[in-house]
Amino acid sequence: MNYTSQNQKDKKEMIKTIGVNDVSELFDVVPKDLRAKELNISGGKTEQELLNCFSDIASKNRVLRSFRGAGVYDHFIPSLVGEITGRSEFWTAYTPYQAEASQGTLQTVFEYQSLICALTGLDTSNASLYDGATAIAEAALLALRVNRKDKILISSALHPEYIKVVKTYLESKAKLVFLDVSSFNGTIEKETLDANLDENTAAVIMQSPNYFGVVEDMQVMSVVTRNKNSLFVAVVNPLSLGIFKAPGEYNADIAVGEGQVLGSSMNVGGATFGFMAVKKALEWKMPGRIVGQTFDKRGNRGFVLTLQSREQHIRREKATSNICTNASLNALAGCVFLSGWGNYGFKKLAEINVSKARYAFDRIKSLKGFRSKFGKDRVFFNEFVIETEKDINKINEVLLENDILGPLDLSNHYNVLDCIPVSLNLLRMRMSFKNCLLFCVTEQRTKCEIDKLTEILSKI
């Protein structure tokens, strides 16, 4: 296909106006010996051919009933989300540089920021970041900028991909120390934090619910952290905040996380968005775009990109970050998603996740050959770890035959990602989670599906 507009007559006139004989003359400045040969790229397909061709390719993927989470979740997406993000006035607009002609984007970002603040209980949100992993890395960088210390303590129960990204961003800038996770409780113990926290600690990064699905006592960790004048960074699942303590309630300085659960499809893990909210005192140190309210001459309320003197297009090498494009359309999905539940409905959504996961947990752990990995009083949101003596590969093979995406094999997963920094630590994680499965149950799974899962498991 060809999407250029000019007919031959127009082209001729344009060439004449420019004062050349043909288009190729416009490229005379490109040295002859550098000119490309004809590219070896297939294509030139019509729309109909493209639809057929990509239907064929898509059919090589399999859509499964998912009992797997680990950072990406199958959640219900209300129809309104697609309706709004599908409006071309939103998806074909650029970053809102001309405020007066971009009030749609700007106001929705302002509303998004407001909703993220309400959810996290913090003062200021930015307009979004690439994803949860990069949001955590940016939070760590922010902490280094604020208090000029050089050590960051990180929960080993942080998602291993997030750990890997944080390492990529910060390895050369800070000393990263990983807090061991208790294999009995599936959480980081206060004593572990006490033992590692010192005057040089810029920030402590804790995830709750953590990678193993367990809800951490963030209040306790936050108090300990702040007593040493370090920043407390809470990595949270925004859906879980319908029922679990908000970062603002336990005095976190920064809340970050993955926004995929707020209205974005799984999309093999991207595109999603990362969110970041901070205390007022940190807002000038934040990375990324921020939208603020203002007025025009006649007193009409409007919205603009603001606090821009933090940003790369003005500050260049002195900017708080290099971010320009973020994940605006996914953040819009998050905004529309959060706007339609009401307090009661949003809390209920979180409760359904807990209840269904709890139901599945109770069923599975009572099967012969399966048991809960952690002590029984652990609180979880929608993921839990089960230890089994059965052949894990066999389990997932059989489930796949039934179009079910089974739980994640934790021992193998740490092998693949190889991302806990100290090899001793890695070895320990691998040993601790040998024969362990990470299950995920969201509101999308029906009782019938959960029963079927347990039935299949019972027969293996």
Partner 1 sequence: MGRLLNELPVGYCPAYSLDSDIEINAQIPENLKRNLDLGLPNVTESDLLRHFTNLSRKNYALSTTFYPLGSCTMKHNLLVSERIAKFNNFTNLHPYQNSKTIQGVLEIMYNLEKDLCEISGMDYFSLQQAAGAHGEFASLLIIAKYFKSIKQKRTKVIVPDSAHGTNPASATLAGFDIVSLKSEPDGSVLPEKLKEILTPEIAAIMLTVPNTLGTFERNIHEISKVVHENGSLLYYDGANLNAIMGVVRPGDMGFDIMHVNLHKTFSTPHGGGGPGSGPVGVKAFLDPFLPVPKIEIAGNEFVLNYEKPKSIGKLKAFFGNFPVLLKAYVYIKSLGAKGLKNASEQAVLNANYMLARFKDKINVPAGNRCMHEFVLAPKASFKSAIKTLDVAKRLLDCGYYAPTVYFPLIVEEAIMIEPTETESKETLDSFVDVLTKIILDEASSEPQKLKDAPVNTAVGRLNEVEAARNPVLRWK
What are 61's two structure tokens? 């993927």
Please name the helix (run of DSSP H) or strand (run of DSSP E) that holds residue 410, with its range, or none: helix 410-417
Q: Which residues is 384 bridged to in the sheet?
A: 439
| Alpha carbon distance 305, 296 (integer Å) | 14
Residues of span 413-442 touching partner 1 by CB under 8 A: 413, 416-419
Question: Of 17, 258, 229, which Cα lies nearest the Cα of 136?
Answer: 258
The total of other beta-carbon atoms located within 10 Å of residue 342's CB is 9
From 21, 227, 300, 423, residue interacting with partner 1 (rule: CB under 8 A): 300
The total of other beta-carbon atoms located within 10 Å of residue 337's CB is 26
Rounded to 10 deg, the angle between the 410-417 and 160-170 helix axes is 20
Rounded to 10 deg, the angle between the 423-432 and 410-417 helix axes is 160
User: How far is the CA of 427 from the CAs of 156, 210, 322, 420, in angstroms?
Assistant: 13, 20, 36, 9
Does 63 bind partner 1 (CB under 8 A)? Our answer is yes
Residues of span 341-380 touching partner 1 by CB under 8 A: 341-352, 354-356, 358-359, 379
From 196, 302, 411, 430, residue interacting with partner 1 (rule: CB under 8 A): 302
Nearer to partner 1, 34 or 424 (CB): 34
Burial class (CB in 10 A: 0-12, 13-18, 19+), 324: exposed
Give the shortest CB-231-to-partner 1 separation in angstroms.
19
Does 161 bind partner 1 (CB under 8 A)? Our answer is yes
Task: Choose the binding region for partner 1 from 88-96, 145-153, 223-231, 429-437 (rule: CB under 8 A).
Answer: 88-96
| Alpha carbon distance 148, 154 (integer Å) | 17
Nearer to partner 1, 191 or 351 (CB): 351
Does 132 bind partner 1 (CB under 8 A)? Our answer is yes
Give the shortest CB-340-to-partner 1 separation in angstroms.
3
Nearer to partner 1, 42 or 227 (CB): 42
Does 309 bind partner 1 (CB under 8 A)? Our answer is yes
Nearer to partner 1, 297 or 368 (CB): 297
Does 18 bind partner 1 (CB under 8 A)? Our answer is yes
Residues of span 197-256 touching partner 1 by CB under 8 A: 215, 217, 219, 241-246, 248-249
Please give the DSSP secondary-structure letter assigned to residue 422: S
Task: Choose the binding region for partner 1 from 74-82, 181-189, 197-205, 422-430 (rule: CB under 8 A).
Answer: 74-82
From 92, 199, 401, 423, residue interacting with partner 1 (rule: CB under 8 A): 92
Residue pair 221/158 in contact (Cβ under 8 Å)? The answer is no
Question: Of 254, 214, 219, 262, which Cα lies nearest the Cα of 238?
Answer: 262
User: How far is the CA of 235 from the CAs of 12, 232, 261, 276, in angstroms?
Assistant: 59, 10, 14, 9
Give the shortest CB-397-to-partner 1 separation in angstroms.
9
With a CB cutoff of 8 Å and minimum separation 6, the contacts of 4 are none
Please name the helix (run of DSSP H) or strand (run of DSSP E) that holds residue 424, with its range, or none: helix 423-432
Nearer to partner 1, 67 or 370 (CB): 67
The upper half-sphere exposure of residue 321, i.e. CA atoms within 13 Å in the direction of its Cβ, equals 26
Number of residues that bind partner 1 (CB under 8 A): 205
Please name the helix (run of DSSP H) or strand (run of DSSP E) that holds residue 427, with its range, or none: helix 423-432
Binding marks (x or -) toward partner 1, 387..416, rule CB under 8 A? ---------x---x----x--x----x--x
Does 323 bind partner 1 (CB under 8 A)? Our answer is yes
Region label for 321, one of left (φ > 0), alpha (ψ between -120 and 50) or beta (otherwise): beta
Report DSSP letters for 331-376, one per residue.
HHHHHHHHHTSHHHHHHHHHHHHHHHHHHHHHHHHTSTTEEESS-T
Give the shortest CB-260-to-partner 1 separation in angstroms.
10
What are 410's two structure tokens? 């934790």
Task: Choose the binding region for partner 1 from 75-83, 174-182, 194-202, 224-232 (rule: CB under 8 A).
Answer: 75-83
From 2, 8, 227, 423, residue interacting with partner 1 (rule: CB under 8 A): 2
Give the shortest CB-300-to-partner 1 separation in angstroms.
5
Does 172 bind partner 1 (CB under 8 A)? Our answer is yes
Nearer to partner 1, 158 or 203 (CB): 158
Give the shortest CB-20-to-partner 1 separation in angstroms.
8
Does 314 bind partner 1 (CB under 8 A)? Our answer is yes
Q: What are phi and psi of 135, to 5 degrees?
A: -65, -40
Does 13 bind partner 1 (CB under 8 A)? Our answer is yes
Nearer to partner 1, 150 or 198 (CB): 150
Task: Choose the binding region for partner 1 from 133-141, 192-200, 221-229, 368-376 (rule: CB under 8 A).
Answer: 133-141
Give the shortest CB-102-to-partner 1 separation in angstroms.
6
Residues of span 97-126 touching partner 1 by CB under 8 A: 97-105, 107-111, 113-115, 117-119, 121, 123-125
